[in-house]
């Protein structure tokens, strides 16, 4: 059994809980995820099953897209509704147009300071370990990119929004920083991930409803990576880890090699001497769904 699953994660469970549930459901140990979601968040979680876990780094998972709700006028120590309110401000006078105008300042490439309640490591410890002891440590800003930050509606004190951003972006920090820019503070109340690259939550299923028929074959999940179907003798060379020469129409760092039956057998990178396999998959032992 190998391939990728699109899970619609419920609120209140961790990404690890979902991985454990899939392991139990299908009786398979090798299950990995392409980026976690906080327990308070719901939405799209991309999982890899079996040998496909070795392909996670090749998936096109950006940009990420989320929809959510932020509460203006209240700042919390965690930047979301799980934390304690540390500041309150009057939001009288705020308008939808004003919030939208302020949100435009976050578009494009910028730097973001990770929140104290996060898994970012400093001096070998995760930031939330410091935060739980009441400690705050200096954090270096990190580059992020925000493609869209749409304020959909405003029903004081809550604003509905949609954001499209690079991986590593803390959406609750975006909400917090927008509140600071508006001068009233804000925190994240609700967040749902709706897309990762070409993967969409509309194609996902709750973990309890998943079946083997929901597996996306590796050769489909790696799109838009170019793939080449190899004749049997050349495919055997690739499966043995040998370099091969193969025509690729467009410049690319990696290429997927398909066996004679159309299944993915390897991912290779270009070298001066040819295409070198960097991941070789074992022969397929079970049937996966063709979408």
As a whole number of angstroms, the distance between CA 27 and CA 217 comes to: 19
**Furthest CA-CA distance within the chain:** 73
Say which DSSP state 51 is in: G
Contacts with 82 (C-beta within 8 Å, 6 or more apart), sequence order: 40, 76
3-state secondary structure of 139: coil
Question: Which is the catalytic residue, given 38, 77, 80, 177?
Answer: 38
Active-site residue 38, yes or no?
Answer: yes
Selection from 57, 21, 54, 81 nearest residue 208 by Cα = 21
Q: What is the DSSP string of 203-272?
A: G-B-GGG--GGGPBPHHHHTTTS-EEE--HHHHHHHHTT--B----SS--SEEEEE-TTS-EEEEEEEET
Tokens of 41: 């968040």
Give me the active site residues, please.
38
């Amino acid at each position: 059994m190998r391939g990728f699953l699109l899970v619609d994660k419920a609120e209140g469970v961790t990404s690890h809980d979902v991985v454990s549930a899939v392991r139990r459901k299908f009786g398979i140990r090798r299950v990995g995820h392409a980026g976690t979601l906080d327990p308070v968040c719901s939405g799209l979680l991309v999982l890899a099953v079996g040998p496909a876990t070795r392909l996670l780094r090749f998936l096109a998972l950006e940009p990420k897209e989320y929809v959510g709700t932020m509460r203006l006028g209240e700042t919390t120590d965690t930047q979301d509704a799980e934390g304690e309110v540390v500041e309150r401000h009057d939001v009288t006078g705020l308008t939808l147009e004003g919030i939208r105008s302020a949100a435009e300042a976050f578009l494009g490439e910028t730097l973001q300071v990770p929140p104290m309640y996060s898994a970012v490591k400093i001096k070998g410890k995760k930031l939330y370990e410091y935060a739980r002891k009441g400690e705050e440590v200096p954090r270096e800003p990190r580059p992020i990119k925000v493609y869209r930050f749409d304020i959909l509606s405003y029903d004081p004190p809550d604003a509905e929004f949609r954001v499209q951003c690079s991986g590593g972006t803390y959406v609750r920090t975006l909400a917090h920083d927008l509140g600071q820019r508006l001068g009233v503070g804000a925190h994240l109340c609700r967040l749902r991930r709706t897309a990762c690259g070409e993967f969409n939550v509309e194609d996902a299923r709750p973990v309890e409803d998943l079946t083997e028929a929901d597996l996306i074959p590796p050769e489909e999940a790696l799109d838009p990576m170019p793939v080449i179907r190899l004749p049997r003798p050349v495919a055997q060379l690739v499966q043995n880890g040998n370099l091969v020469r193969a025509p690729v129409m467009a410049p690319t760092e990696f290429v997927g090699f398909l066996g004679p039956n159309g299944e993915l057998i390897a991912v290779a990178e270009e070298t001066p001497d040819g295409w070198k396999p960097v991941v070789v998959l074992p022969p397929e032992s079970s049937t996966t769904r063709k979408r």
